[in-house]
């Protein structure tokens, strides 16, 4: 397992279907413009997580580390771990099946966060952003969009062309393709065979079953695009950051989870 060093700590944090508050973390996003506001009472962060659980736990911990760069207290956090059926989760990742099931679970989770007095909701999962508009309609609370935050971050960093690694459901929904087209960013995506490999790898990571072969398969896919002159890579699935690390690649890697961590902390501490 590539994330074995986290596992003991993380499994303690994620209790199915519960609201949880906080402790410590690991995250760094360069060039952050968040001002120090130690005299300002921060908002309560609501995390709609569990897709998958390990990346949600890392996200939770990363928020705390990022927050402590600007404040002298730990943040107020509620975490709802969405209780998903594993077979339905796999089908959703690969084919976009069980959308109604997913939406009901997400609405229920966001409603619990609102009832728990979260001030806004952040979702460390790219794929379920296909439900973003519906969630905004159904639950009266502010939601942060990982798509919007990522697009703005890439524009700020003058990215013009990027390889997109994501689930088939994210790719087919054109969540990023549409946003990037409007922003003037060219998107490169893997072919169908490689996309099947990526989906299988994501499912393995979510279920804590990834192996060295998953890493090697991703390496081969990324290398194909590097050979074509692609120099930027977007991890548009927050589980991929568990095994794809910047130090292992010559491409510049943009991690949607790190981008969302920074945006979440900024939202929490702004007036």
Q: How many whole angstroms separate alpha carbon 57 and alpha carbon 72? A: 22
Looking at the predicted structure, is the pLDDT value of residue 33 above 70?
A: no
Q: What is the CA radius of gyration of the chain?
A: 18
Q: Are residues 20 and 129 in the same domain?
A: yes
**Are 28 and 54 in a shared domain?**
yes
Q: Are 159 and 246 in the same domain?
A: yes
Question: Are 41 and 95 contained in the same domain?
Answer: yes
Same-domain pairing of 86 and 21: yes
Asked if residue 106 and residue 76 are part of one domain, the reply reads yes
Q: For residues 206 and 108, which has the higher predicted lDDT (pLDDT)?
A: 108
Please count the other Cβ atoms lying within 10 Å of the Cβ belonging to residue 217. Answer: 16
Q: Are residues 43 and 131 in the same domain?
A: yes
**What integer pLDDT is reported at residue 186 of this predicted model?**
97
Mean pLDDT, residues 146-174 taken together: 96
250 preceded by cis ω (within 30°)? no
Q: Residues 171, 232: one domain?
A: yes
Confidence of residue 191 (pLDDT cuts 50, 70, 90): very high
Question: What is this structure's pTM?
Answer: 0.83
What is the percentage of the chain residues whose pLDDT exceeds 90? Answer: 76
Whether residues 109 and 156 fall in one domain: no
Claim to verify: residue 190 and residue 116 sit in the same structural domain: no
Which domain does 19 fall in, by range?
4-145+259-269
* Farthest CA pair distance, the chain: 53
Among the listed residues 205, 247, 243, the one whose alpha carbon sits nearest the alpha carbon of residue 93: 205
Please give the structure tokens belonging to residue 233: 């890579």
**Collapsed DSSP state (helix, strand, coil) of residue 27:** coil
26 and 68 housed in the same domain:
yes
200/223 same-domain check: yes
Residue 221's CATH number: 3.40.50.1860
Q: Over the stretch 125-139, which tens digit does the pLDDT of each residue have? A: 999 999 999 999 999
Provide the 10 A C-beta neighbour count for residue 270.
12
| CA–CA gap between residue 28 and residue 39 (Å, rounded) | 23
**Total number of domains constituting the chain:** 2
């Amino acid at each position: 397992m590539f994330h074995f060093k986290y596992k003991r700590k993380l499994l303690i944090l994620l209790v199915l279907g519960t609201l949880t508050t906080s402790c410590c973390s690991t995250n760094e996003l360069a060039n952050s413009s968040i001002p120090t506001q130690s005299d300002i009472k921060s908002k309560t962060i609501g995390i709609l997580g569990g897709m998958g659980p390990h990346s949600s736990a890392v996200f939770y911990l990363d928020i705390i580390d990022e927050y402590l760069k600007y404040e002298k207290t730990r943040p107020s956090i509620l975490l709802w771990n969405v209780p998903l059926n594993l077979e339905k989760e796999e089908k959703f990742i690969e084919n976009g099946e069980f959308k109604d099931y997913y939406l009901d679970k997400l609405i229920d989770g966001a409603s619990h966060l609102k009832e728990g007095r979260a001030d806004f909701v952040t979702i460390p999962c790219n794929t379920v952003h296909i439900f973003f508009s519906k969630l905004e309609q159904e639950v009266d609370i502010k939601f942060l969009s990982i798509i919007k935050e990522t697009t703005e971050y890439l524009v700020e960093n003058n990215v013009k062309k990027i390889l997109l690694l994501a689930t088939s459901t994210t790719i087919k929904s054109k969540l990023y393709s549409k946003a990037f087209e409007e922003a003037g960013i060219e998107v490169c995506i893997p072919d169908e065979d490689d996309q099947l490999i990526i989906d299988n790898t994501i499912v393995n990571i979510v279920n804590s079953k990834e192996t060295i072969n998953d890493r090697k398969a991703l390496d081969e896919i990324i290398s194909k695009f590097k050979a074509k002159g692609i120099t930027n890579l977007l991890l548009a699935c927050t589980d991929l950051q568990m095994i794809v690390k910047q130090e292992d690649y010559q491409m510049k890697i943009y991690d949607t989870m790190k981008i969302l961590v920074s945006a979440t902390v900024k939202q929490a501490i702004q007036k």
